[in-house]
Amino acid sequence: MHGKGKQKEQKSTNSNEKSGLHPRNPHRFRYDFKALITSCPDLQKFVSFNKFGDESIDFANPEAVKMLNQAILKHFYQISFWDIPRNYLCPPIPGRADYIHYIADLLADDTTNKQIPMGKKVKVLDIGTGANCVYPIIGSQAYGWSFVGTDIDPIAIKSAQNIGTHNSVLVDKIEYRLQASSKQIFTGILKPNESFDVSICNPPFHASAEEAAAGSQRKNKNLGLKDKNKLNFGGQNAELWCEGGEEAFVRNMIFESKEISQQITWFTSLIAKKEHLPSIYYYLKKVNAVEVKTINMAQGQKISRIVAWTFKTETERQRKPSSD
């Protein structure tokens, strides 16, 4: 459903560590292609030396990007099978992992011993899980959390289910739900009396199909792609744009969150454009959010942030350390 992202080659530096990524993110170091190829030999044919003298892949080649993701997911998360339909979003794993690790910190702040809650009793709602199912993969493998992934696209849901059923490490950790209405986010998804510790979302970035196409062409130019219609990372319409774009989507999420204020402890969303923050804060004040947090994230030169809000007091949120 919703998402965005691109994988971009970084220049060689004196440090092996990428700047800005979360300290627990295992992808904060430059790709170790020898280790990745050991885990996924099929990656070998896509690896060569770049102009900086480092091993790399052609990030303008969608098949190479997809194979890199397969290798990363196998090497770091024990995912033996991962595939997505043609032209669906192939997300950059490092940035996706960052979101999950910052959410772990958010939940840790509400525990009595400030330790990250682990295990399947921690329930996460992934709005727009997509065909790639990457957030549930990382969250379940890194922390043992259980997920419900939602999407408005039945093909995406079927693909995510296919990934889940073909990996024994994911069985019983992820549930998949189709959102029947493109106008709704939580309504029609949450069951009566059902509760979640946190919801996550990577909202559609663009406000129209034309804007999404223009953005894709800019990325293609930066990557040196001659075919303006070819995407190295893919993306369906619902993944890349919605009416009103990111700002409108999050606004709608905020107003819906008020209606289910006690069923989800923390509501969160990625916010790509900092100019959207003032209006988002305005709407959060309008719905009387009890607490709002903004968590800054950086991946190289790309800056984004997570906005988190809750309708529960600190006392209501406090939880004992998890036992499973």
pLDDT for residue 260? 97
15 pLDDT tier (thresholds 50, 70, 90): low
pLDDT for residue 168? 97
Contacts of 113 (CB under 8 A, 6+ apart): 321
pLDDT for residue 87? 86
Both tokens of 303, joined, read 């800056």
6 pLDDT tier (thresholds 50, 70, 90): very low
At 184-212, the pLDDT tens digits run 999 999 999 999 999 999 998 644 444 44
Euclidean distance between CA atoms 199 and 310, whole angstroms? 11
Least confident of 3-7, 20-24, 60-64: 3-7
Is the model more confident about 100 or about 30? 100
| CA neighbor of 244 nearest in space, from 287, 282, 203 | 203
Residue 148 has pLDDT above 60, yes or no: yes
Euclidean distance between CA atoms 149 and 208, whole angstroms? 25
At 252-270, the pLDDT tens digits run 999 999 999 999 999 999 9
Q: Are strands 264-271 and 196-201 parallel, antiparallel or unpaired?
A: parallel
pLDDT for residue 206? 40
Domains located in the chain, CATH noted: 84-317 (3.40.50.150)
Task: Average the pLDDT over 290-312 and give the result.
Answer: 91
* CA triple 200-202-206, angle to 5 deg: 150
Residue 230 has pLDDT above 70, yes or no: no
**CA 138 → CA 52, 97, 169, 188, 198, distances in Å?**
31, 6, 11, 26, 15
Q: Please state whether 245 falls in left (phi above 0), alpha (psi between -120 and 50) or beta.
A: left
Kindly report the pTM of this predicted structure: 0.85
Alpha helices in 58-184 (DSSP H): 62-77, 93-108, 134-143, 154-165
Residue 156 has pLDDT above 90, yes or no: yes
| CA neighbor of 277 nearest in space, from 239, 306, 235 | 306
Residue 19 has pLDDT above 60, yes or no: yes
Cβ(87)–Cβ(130) below 8 Å: no
| CA neighbor of 309 nearest in space, from 252, 266, 258, 253 | 266
pLDDT for residue 89? 87
234 pLDDT tier (thresholds 50, 70, 90): low
Residue 126 has pLDDT above 80, yes or no: yes
Euclidean distance between CA atoms 131 and 113, whole angstroms? 36
Residue 241 has pLDDT above 50, yes or no: no
Say what percent of the chain tops pLDDT 90.
Answer: 72
Mean pLDDT, all residues of the chain: 86
Least confident of 5-9, 28-32, 90-94: 5-9
> What is the maximum span of the chain, computed from C-alpha positions, in angstroms?
57
Residue 314 has pLDDT above 60, yes or no: yes
Query: What count of Cα atoms within 13 Å lies in the side-chain half-sphere of residue 5?
Result: 23
13 pLDDT tier (thresholds 50, 70, 90): very low
